[in-house]
Copies of this chain bind each other. A is one copy, B any other.
Amino acid sequence: DILSPGQYDTVYNSLSLVIAAQLFTAVFLLIALPRILPRYRQAITVAIIVCGIAAYHYFRIFDSFREAFVTEAAGGQGDYAQAAGAGFNEGYRYVDWLLTVPLLLVELIAVLALARSVQRGLLVRLVPAAALMILLGYPGEISGDNGIRGLFGLLSTIPFAYILYVLFVQLTKSLNKQPVGVRRILSQLRWLLLLSWGVYPIAYLLPMLNLEGADAWVFKQVGYSIADILAKAVYALIIFRVARIKSFDDD
């Protein structure tokens, strides 16, 4: 693909925005950690790790992007073509998700501070399902063939549906045992999760809808960037709010 200077800058700025958002959410939470009761620190610690891992991968994605597209024009005011010898590595995203998606679920369950056995029961279902979802998506993503892409997309949707089932059906009774003040926030959090996670399978579908070319690609990168900020940084801040409110209540 050939990117216009405006398209190049848009992707560049979005990727940099994600680095800043993830890195400083992590730093904020690190500084704020002592203000949380020890019981909820596990959730916030996991949130810090998730945002840190995301920042690391976005540094790499950013570098990969800068190496992959080049222009000869003075002042960068010309079209950007794909560089010789360096591709934009979309696979990084899957590496990131393999680590962070299970951890996002751990973060949610940890802040609920449920009874040990309930917690264990939820985690042994959610964590392997999340890892499986990502692992099944990867072969479809790197394959150039739409049939293979469709097949693995479908397989990956099974654990995805299962995760949503556990979160929206099985978790609901535990939510009713949460303090009143956080119940509404937690239910909003679930919707944020659904909304932001939904972006990824949609982006995965784009090549199958023949929505390719520079515009679709730029749109996808910006879409991923926004979804990643919502699904990790904003999500972490809401989890932090829940932990703060519960820390007050328990005191």
Contact = CB atoms under 8 A, between A and B. Distances in A.
A77 interface: yes
A53 B24 CA distance: 7
Q: What number of copies of this chain does the assembly contain?
A: 2
Nearest to A17: B95
A174 interface: no
A16 interface: yes
A68 interface: yes
Nearest to A62: B60
Interface stretch (A83-91, A154-162, A165-173, A208-216): A83-91
A177 to B, nearest CB: 23
Nearest to A26: B27
Interface of A: 5-6, 9, 12-13, 16-17, 19-21, 23-24, 27-28, 30-33, 35, 38, 41-42, 45-46, 48-49, 52-53, 56-57, 60, 68, 70-77, 81-89, 91-92, 94-96, 98-99, 142
